[in-house]
């Protein structure tokens, strides 16, 4: 079994333990998100070559919403624009989001607040602490 298949099986087990039924649409959605290098919109998930089942947009929306509720998927971006989604990983990612076009890019530097998160956890007594860091600006394409 390939590494990606093992990863999908682990995600499916996590989905099952959180109450989601294993369906072809669920498997296709997880495959699409797992194969993506960047967060994806619902339309991009549906159009992905890894999403190889026939599904209406409302079904994909409900599925991704359930994955988000169960903390398997993370929603990124403006609430007034198309949201982007990605799998939650054992490590987090931080993002750059364009205020004009809504594009989302992974911030490819070490997280600037990771040490602060650890300190807060130690001092507050909170466990399983996490954060989300999103920077908003104008991408290179929108500056032209």
Residue 2: pLDDT above 60? no
CA distance 30 to 81: 23
pTM: 0.73
Task: Report pLDDT digits (tens) over 71-118.
Answer: 899 888 766 677 888 888 756 788 888 888 888 888 888 888 888 988
Q: Which long-range contacts (CB under 8 A, 24 or more apart) does 5-11 make?
A: 7/34, 8/34, 11/72, 11/87
In order, the DSSP letters of 126-141 are --S-----EEEE--HH
In order, the DSSP letters of 8-63 are HHHHHHHHHHTT----HHHHHHHHHHHH-SS-B-HHHHHHSTT--S---HHHHHHH
Average pLDDT over residues 21-48: 92
CA distance 37 to 25: 20
| All structural domains of the chain | 1-90 (1.10.10.10), 91-144 (3.30.1490.190)
């Amino acid at each position: 079994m390939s590494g990606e298949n093992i990863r999908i099986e682990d995600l499916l087990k996590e989905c099952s333990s959180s109450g989601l039924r294993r369906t072809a649409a669920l498997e296709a959605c997880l495959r699409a998100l797992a194969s993506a290098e960047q967060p994806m919109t619902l339309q991009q998930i549906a159009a992905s070559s890894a999403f190889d089942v026939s599904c209406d947009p409302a079904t994909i929306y409900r599925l991704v919403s359930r994955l988000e509720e169960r903390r398997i998927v993370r929603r990124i971006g403006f609430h007034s624009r198309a949201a982007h989604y990605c799998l939650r990983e054992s490590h987090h990612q931080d993002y750059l989001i364009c205020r004009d076009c809504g594009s989302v890019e992974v911030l490819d530097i070490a997280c600037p607040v990771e040490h602060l998160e650890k300190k807060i956890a130690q001092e507050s007594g909170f466990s399983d602490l996490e954060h989300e860091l999103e920077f908003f600006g104008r991408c290179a394409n929108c500056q032209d």
